[in-house]
Amino acid sequence: MIVAQGLTKSFHDKKRGQIMAVQDVSFTCHPGRIYGLLGANGAGKTTTLRMLATLLKPTHGTATVAGLSVTERPAEVRAQVGFLAASTALYARLTARETLAYFGRLNGLPAAEVAARTQRLADDLEMHEFLDRRVDKFSTGMKQKTSIARTLIHDPAVIIFDEPTLGLDVMAARTILRFVRDCKARGKTVIYSTHIMSEVEKLCDTIGIIHGGRLLAEGSLADLRARYAETDMEEIFIKAIGEKEAA
């Protein structure tokens, strides 16, 4: 469960001055459901998700993740969160097994538990063949699987995806999407950000449209179709942000 309440984040930039990256964003994500955050580049998706993962501190507002406040108990929040983004890379000089062991240990798991989970994840993701090879020798697909395993090693209740398919080919992207659905099936709370309309259409139970740091519309695909009298997600998106711009 994720509950965001009035999340706001401003940055100071030498050239651009004060940047309101996220303004007063509130939403709720439920276990066993996928919340899609749809927005163009610079909309504020990454900033929002980083606040949920406690990488950034909100300027105003707060959020709870698995019942824990992101501002008051950040380390415990991170222990409940798996964070996978296009920008979260793997250590090139470690093997897949060493990577999982490292993140397992950082999460406080005993060595035996780490080994057992590594075994299970390698079974699920078909990683045995390259488990003891160094990441810098991996194909994109192998890296993807290792990243997924890294996200899951501590069995988090909440999984945050920030444009995880960015820069991936079709096959690698499909692996990711299948994995996102798996998480949902296992009752995890999933939040998924993207700028790709078709992904939210296929994947998400609830869609939040974010633009200029503000959450402009929210609802299931059916809700949004009804509200904007459009079936195509792209048209819905344009109408949602156009409505705001006109106002």
Partner 1 sequence: MNFNQIVTVYLKELRDALRDRRTLVSMFIVPTLVIPIIILGFGVVTAKIIRKARAETPGVMLLGAKDSPEIRAALAAHPRIRIVPARDDFRTLISNKSLRAAVELPDDFDAALLESRPSTVRLYTYDGEIKSGFATGELDRFFRDYREKAIQARLSERGLPAALVRPYEITRQNVAPPEKVGGNLVGGFIPYVIILLCFTGAMYPAMDLTAGEKERGTLETLLCSPVGRTEIVLGKFLVVLTSALSTVVLAGISAMATFPLGALLFAPEAGPARAVGSAAVAAARSPMPQIDPLGFLASLAMVAPIAVLFAAGLLALSLFAKSYKEAQSYVSPLIVVIILPALSAMLPGVELNLQLSLIPILNVSLVCKELVSGIFHWGHLSLIFASSCVYAAIALALAVRMFNRETVLFRT
Ligand X SMILES: Nc1ncnc2c1ncn2[C@@H]1O[C@H](COP(=O)(O)OP(=O)(O)O)[C@@H](O)[C@H]1O
Q: Are 217 and 38 in contact (CB under 8 A)?
A: no
Show the binding pattern over residues 15-54: x = contacts ligand X (CB under 6 A), - = does not. ----x-x-----------------x-xxxxxxx-------
Task: Please classify residue 236 by burial: count the beta carbons closer than 10 Å to its beta carbon, then call 0-12 exposed, 13-18 middle and 19+ buried.
Answer: buried
Which residues, 6+ apart, have CB-to-CB distance to 220 below 8 Å?
205, 206, 207
Q: Which two tokens stand for residue 62?
A: 């707060």
- Of residues 72, 88, 140, 166, which one binds partner 1 by CB under 8 A? 88
Closer by beta carbon to partner 1, 17 or else 108: 108
Helix (H, G, I), strand (E, B) or coil at 44: coil
Closer by beta carbon to ligand X, 25 or else 96: 25
43 contact choice in ligand X, Mg ion, partner 1, none (CB below 5 to 8 Å, kind-dependent): ligand X
Show the binding pattern over residues 124-163: x = contacts partner 1 (CB under 8 A), - = does not. --------------------------x-------------
Residues 26-65 close enough to bind Mg ion by CB under 5 A: 46
55 contact choice in partner 1, Mg ion, ligand X, none (CB below 5 to 8 Å, kind-dependent): partner 1
Q: Are 207 and 200 in contact (CB under 8 A)?
A: yes
Per-position DSSP letters for 139-205, written without gaps between them: -HHHHHHHHHHHHHTT--SEEEEESTTTT--HHHHHHHHHHHHHHHHTT-EEEEEES-HHHHHHH-S
Q: Are 156 and 2 in contact (CB under 8 A)?
A: no
User: Applying CB under 6 A, does 196 fall inside the site for ligand X?
Assistant: no
- Of residues 1, 3, 5, 11, which one binds ligand X by CB under 6 A? 11
21 contact choice in Mg ion, ligand X, partner 1, none (CB below 5 to 8 Å, kind-dependent): ligand X
Show the binding pattern over residues 202-241: x = contacts partner 1 (CB under 8 A), - = does not. ----------------------------------------
Task: Please classify residue 41 by burial: count the beta carbons closer than 10 Å to its beta carbon, then call 0-12 exposed, 13-18 middle and 19+ buried.
Answer: exposed
Which residues, 6+ apart, have CB-to-CB distance to 126 below 8 Å?
145
- C-beta contacts of 71-76 below 8 A and 24+ residues apart: none
- Of residues 1, 3, 20, 55, which one binds partner 1 by CB under 8 A? 55
Distance of closest approach, residue 155 Cβ to Mg ion, in angstroms: 26
Distance of closest approach, residue 103 Cβ to Mg ion, in angstroms: 22
Distance of closest approach, residue 229 Cβ to ligand X, in angstroms: 27
Q: Which two tokens stand for residue 92?
A: 């090139």
- Write out the residues near partner 1 by the rule CB under 8 A: 11-13, 50, 53, 55-57, 75-76, 78-79, 81, 83, 85, 87-94, 98, 102-103, 105-108, 150
